[in-house]
Amino acid sequence: MISSGLLVCSFYLRKKFSRGNDNVIDLNHKISDEENNEYANIFELFSLFLDEGRQTKDDERNMKLFSVPPETITNYDSETYRATSFAVNSGSYGFESEITDRISKEIKYKRTRNDADIKQFYCLVYVPKDIDGISIQKGIMLFQTIGTYGIKTITTQKMKEFFSEKGITLETRSVSVRMFMEKIIENGSLTKVTLVKNSVSPDSSDNMFISTGREEKSYIKPRLKQNWIDKFLDFLDGKNQDDIFEINDEKFQDIRITFSISGKSRTVRANDIDRFSVVEEIPDSIFNNGKYSKEHLTTHMISVAEAYKDKMVFRLE
């Protein structure tokens, strides 16, 4: 059974060499590059990026090919959002193998180091329109995964290179982790919670050391009380590196959450949660063991972006 999912993250732009939240760019307004060229909004820039993607790019360091077939690009403009969907053709090369017919066991082809195994994945860039005088600074990106394969890393790398040439930095971050964790807990996909704290020896003779290690408490397939869930989700919403999570007067420096998606186990640390990319399974009714239509898939991607939109803050303060 071939499964497919959607890797969801947020993004924003800022002027190159800016720090923190300085010089963050409003996505629906005119954008100027370092040579004072003006673009109507973020989608004019993405259109240029996709146009450049028509030519196959060879990432020799990572031994991957990357291209955007122009016939797969679709633009959307509704009352509340703009979006662009497109496909990425990408695959790795660099090793030899034998392509074998699984039924006859006959070797059909011997793959060389220069043969790239190209697969096609769909992506979506989604930005809400300004509303009630609020200028939107953050958008949503969705990247299709197929089995163990995906294209978020190489696609965002190419995007960052494109924007960097124009004096703009592209940053990607997590998108409504609270909403995702609520789903994980509700669906029973949470398999383990590990609480981590610094452990200092009670023996004063050991206190010549700043710390004597880390103590971990793990709970397998935990059944969590609602007040603990609420406290944990509130903690994630305001997470920063200096935060301490307290349970029964015990202070913990980190929390690891292990959960199951598409039959595979994943673990994420609370201290890294801001850079965590949410993964949503695509229903079998849309992706049926490798069979799907572009229209149904992109419609589903927009509906997923709409759902996360309602849980996001779209300005950086």
DSSP string for residues in 100-168: E-TTT--EEEEE-TT----EEEEEEEEEEPPBTTBPP--EEEEEEEETTEE-HHHHHHHHHHHHHTTTE
Would you state the torsion angle of the CA atoms of residues 130, 131, 137, 140, taken in this order, to the nearest 10 degrees? -80
Q: 18 - beta bridge partners?
A: none
In single-letter form, the type of residue at position 271 comes to N
Model pLDDT, residue 203: 56
Task: Residue 192: name the closest of 267, 98, 100 by CA.
Answer: 267
How confident is the prediction for the chain on average, in pLDDT? Answer: 86
The 3-state DSSP class for residue 175 equals coil
Give 3-state DSSP helix, strand, coil % of the chain, rounded to 5. Answer: 25, 40, 40
pLDDT of residue 38: 95
Q: Are 143 and 175 in contact (CB under 8 A)?
A: no
Structure confidence at residue 197 (pLDDT): 82
Tell me which residues of the chain have a pLDDT lower than 70.
Answer: 20, 176, 199-213, 237-244, 247-248, 261-264, 271-277, 317
Q: What is the pLDDT of residue 202?
A: 53
What is the model's pLDDT at position 303? 95
* pTM of this structure: 0.78
Report the half-sphere exposure of 189 (CA within 13 A, side-chain side): 19
Cα 254 to Cα 78, 129, 234, 235: the distances in Å are 42, 36, 15, 11
